Structure 1
Amino acid sequence: MKYLDEFGNPELAHKLVDEIHAATTRPWAMMEVCGGQTHSIIRHGIDQLLPDGVEMIHGPGCPVCVTPLEIIDKALAIAAQPGVIFCSFGDMLRVPGSSQDLFAVKSAGADVRVVYSPLDALTIARDNPSRPVVFFGIGFETTAPANAMTVYQARRLGVPNFSLLVSHVLVPPAVAAIMESPRCRVQAFLAAGHVCSVMGTGEYPPLAAKYRVPIVVTGFEPLDILEGIRQTIVQLEAGEHEVRNAYPRAVRAEGNPAAMAMLDDVFEVTDRTWRGIGMIPRSGWRLAAKYREFDAEERFDVAGVRAAESPLCRSGEVLQGLLKPHQCEAFGKQCTPRSPLGATMVSSEGACAAYYAYRRLELVQL
């Protein structure tokens, strides 16, 4: 196949579905880690095409969704300070903090700007040397290289008024945390292809061996996901637990060495809190010591900000794969895209947003 639309070919999709049915003899539960995969699965009804008993569990792979509430509140506190230009991707502006979101702070007069690249924020900082400029750097290993490069450039070019509010998290420690949970039902993983395009696959074999789970690196188009599921089912049925790459057009085992070198230079591993999940040891990055002057959290002295989630929101259980969105009592009632209780209803990769957008509004017996 040469063109992207061919990865949605219905004839090939039906062939893969038939192969999945032919290979399946018992119930299995697998987790797609990435929120982009979740949206593709729900949008195309892939979970409804699978054999009875084969369940897709939606994982914590939405970067907006796992950004902790206290980081959102720190962003709000920084953005509200006089003179600050606060830059972010647009998907963060409606994520609720404890009492408001960035849109509300902007409407109250704060200079909050949507940018399309962290380098845009650096340009704004160079154009406004008398004003502090902050970029909200969130996400998994996928978005981290661009943020690292921006900090590297700020140091190289001498742009002291630029800083980064860092909330980067790492996938492999989250996989381990999920498997260590006493409520875990996951028997296999579809790994996020874009993360592995940066980091490669080297961190996954120890996890597959330790927890005896197949891990298949998968893309985001319908045929990508169906092929990932097929390879996973074949391993589960055979009692195997290997790491396989079903996304070779984008992922190499060694990853992207240049991006990884930039990450190693700018960031260092640290403990991170995940929204709705809690602290996972060594599951994130912070700026390394030689770049610490660009750390917005230290520059604006917001380290003491603390927050508490809404008692109505069960997004933490959704992110851990313990609850489907439409099983939450607030889903579609107190919590909608217009009035979200949690980030999973706001983000374009959130499971709750996917279920709402594609009308999975109640529990359906298939």
Structure 2
Amino acid sequence: MTSSDPLRDPARCKELLAQIEESVKGSTLRFMEVCGTHTVALFRSGVHSLLPKSVVHLTGPGCPVCVTHESEVAAYLELAGKEGVIIATFGDLMRVPGPGGASLKKAHAEGARVEVVYSPFDALAIARDNPGDKVVFLGIGFETTTPTVAATVRIARQEGLKNFLVMPFHKLVPPALDALLSDPDMAVEGFMLPGHVSAIIGMEPYRPLAERYRIPAVVAGFEPVDLLQAILLMAEMKRQGKPKVINNYKRVVADEGNPKARAIVAEVYKPVDALWRGIGTIPLSGLGFTDAYRAYDAFEVLGVELKASKPLPGCRCGEVLKGIMRPDECPLFGKACTPAQPVGPCMVSTEGSCAAYFKYQIDLNSDR
């Protein structure tokens, strides 16, 4: 940290830490972040290790690769073996383990046509260059990335490009929060809400957190001062018994979100029930194609179905995603499961909580 940056000022961070400790004196605060970038930021900045022991940081289902269900992984691996199909994917899906130790990386080594792309527009270019093949983009991500995928599909339709398809595994954050709070095993007392997602959806979808569940929630940025301010706001709301949903990232997030981005998504997609690793089916927590864009649905065009798939043996990623277990409490953590040889997706993705714990050498004896 350098004092020249007000969002990383050590003196301000020290002041906020003291205020947090005073606010939670004689009580606790169990807060959950639901953003992979927050997961990494809390660890990388040292904020996680500096918090008083009465403040418990839980990692939630904020990593899009991690929440992709076992059945969804099995579905795209099945597709990777089909003749005339090119899989286009972001790189962090390549090593996600599937049934029997399968993965896209292994499928590629065995001859499957798998292309790593940096955006769905790259996948569209591959489709243009390979008119005799079906190019299937794996639509993994939350509300942040969905508008770009929807815009790409719209371009494909405008160009009359019929060989570009998407497997829609998109997930929606607010229904997942509702599902977590409905779980009797959960003991969350505050949510650090995702900045990037909130820039798209705005504040309104989060209102039930305070109104129905009486849980304080704060949209936060990613610098140390942002993180500590959000924790302090949650602690103060809990202490006062006045839960609200607060936008503390106004330099990026407008209360109304991004209406244009949402309009593009609403044209191409509609809410559908979706599977989440460790949680199961959450009603209306995913996106499927509207009737006007069904010709771009890889499931429908290529006849792929989601089938029951068993969880990865020994992997506790699902419990980590629900905040029931810390990564280091998994018996495989740091032993059979490492970033070099991951057993589950929470150790694969750079935004995965297990990978963050491992990379930043969290004290395994910590109560946090």
TM over 0.5: yes
Partner residue of 1:14?
A: 14
Distance 1:360 1:328 in 2: 14
Partner residue of 2:80?
A: 79
Q: Which secondary structure state, in structure 2, belongs to the residue aligned with residue 139 of structure 1?
A: coil
1:357 counterpart (352, 359, 362): 359
| Paired AA for residue 169 in structure 1 | K
Q: Which secondary structure state, in structure 1, belongs to the residue aligned with residue 228 of structure 2?
A: helix
Q: Percent of pairs identical after alignment? A: 44
Quick check: 316-325 or 70-79, which moved more?
70-79
| Paired AA for residue 311 in structure 2 | E
Q: Which secondary structure state, in structure 2, belongs to the residue aligned with residue 224 of structure 1?
A: helix
Q: Which secondary structure state, in structure 2, belongs to the residue aligned with residue 335 of structure 1?
A: coil
Deviation of the 1:4 alpha carbon: 10
Deviation of the 1:52 alpha carbon: 2.8
Aligned pairs (5 A) from 1:47-86: 47-86=48-87
Partner residue of 2:311?
A: 309
Distance 1:136 1:302 in 2: 13
2:178 counterpart (176, 179, 195): 176
Deviation of the 1:305 alpha carbon: 3.4
Distance 1:151 1:48 in 2: 43
Q: 1:60 to 1:365 in 2, by over 3 A?
A: closer
Aligned pairs (5 A) from 1:201-212: 201-212=203-214
Contact 1:266–1:287 under 8 Å retained in 2 = yes
For the pair 1:46 / 2:20, whether they are aligned, the reply is: no
Distance 1:231 1:207 in 2: 15
Contact 2:72–2:306 under 8 Å retained in 1 = no
Contact 2:66–2:346 under 8 Å retained in 1 = yes
Partner residue of 2:200?
A: 198
Partner residue of 1:237?
A: 239
Distance 1:166 1:285 in 2: 7
Distance 1:304 1:343 in 2: 19
Distance 1:256 1:73 in 2: 34
Partner residue of 2:166?
A: 164
TM-score normalised per structure 1: 0.96
Partner residue of 1:119?
A: 121
Instruction: Give the length in aligned residue pairs.
Output: 364
| Paired AA for residue 200 in structure 1 | G
Partner residue of 1:271?
A: 273
What do the CA deviations read for 1:306-350 (whole angstroms, capped 9, x no partner)?
311123011111000000000011111121112212110101111
Deviation of the 1:196 alpha carbon: 0.4
2:287 counterpart (271, 285, 288): 285
| Paired AA for residue 98 in structure 1 | P
Deviation of the 1:304 alpha carbon: 4.8
Q: Which secondary structure state, in structure 2, belongs to the residue aligned with residue 260 of structure 1?
A: helix
Structure 2, unpaired ranges of 5+: none
Partner residue of 1:154?
A: 156
Deviation of the 1:111 alpha carbon: 1.4
Contact 2:137–2:166 under 8 Å retained in 1 = yes
Deviation of the 1:11 alpha carbon: 2.3
Partner residue of 1:214?
A: 216
Q: Which secondary structure state, in structure 2, belongs to the residue aligned with residue 30 of structure 1?
A: strand
Distance 1:300 1:4 in 2: 55
Deviation of the 1:47 alpha carbon: 2.3
Q: Which secondary structure state, in structure 1, belongs to the residue aligned with residue 149 of structure 2?
A: helix
Q: Which secondary structure state, in structure 1, belongs to the residue aligned with residue 362 of structure 2?
A: coil
Distance 2:304 2:154 in 1: 23
Contact 1:131–1:161 under 8 Å retained in 2 = yes
Partner residue of 2:332?
A: 330
| Paired AA for residue 107 in structure 1 | A
Partner residue of 1:318?
A: 320
Quick check: 247-256 or 200-209, which moved more?
200-209
Runs of 4+ in 1 over 3 A off after TM superposition: 3-6
Partner residue of 1:262?
A: 264
For the pair 1:250 / 2:275, whether they are aligned, the reply is: no
| Paired AA for residue 352 in structure 1 | C
| Paired AA for residue 143 in structure 2 | E
Q: Which secondary structure state, in structure 1, belongs to the residue aligned with residue 166 of structure 2?
A: strand
Deviation of the 1:22 alpha carbon: 2.7
TM-score normalised per structure 2: 0.95
Deviation of the 1:206 alpha carbon: 2.1
Deviation of the 1:282 alpha carbon: 1.0
Distance 1:47 1:60 in 2: 18
| Paired AA for residue 272 in structure 1 | A
Structure 1, unpaired ranges of 5+: none
